[in-house]
Amino acid sequence: MKLIILITFSVIFFIALIFSVLNFHLVEINLGFTSISLPLTIALTIELFVGIGIGLLAALIQIMRLKSDYAQLDKQLKRTNK
């Protein structure tokens, strides 16, 4: 199983490496108040990690909300069982 995972990640890594070598031209990103020029691969990598961060933040908010609901329900259950 570990060998399959290693092969899969190796294939994905080499595909990403080929993609980054083939798409290394500069792109201009307009941020409204300023613009920056970055290689396309770096811009896509930054966008990927920002998206992952936003997704994790949204998941964390949902987890905190569910933990709060669980604590309230646990208190209600303890009061009911007394």
- Three-state DSSP state, 37: strand
| pLDDT-derived band at 64, boundaries 50, 70, 90 | very high
| pLDDT score recorded for residue 82 | 74
**b/e per residue, 43-57, with b = 16+ CB within 10 A?**
bbeeeeeeeeeeeee
Domain count of the chain? 1
Structural domain range at position 70: 2-81
Query: pLDDT per residue over 3-61, tens digit each?
Result: 898 899 899 888 988 888 887 889 998 888 999 999 888 888 889 899 999 999 999 99
| pLDDT score recorded for residue 42 | 87
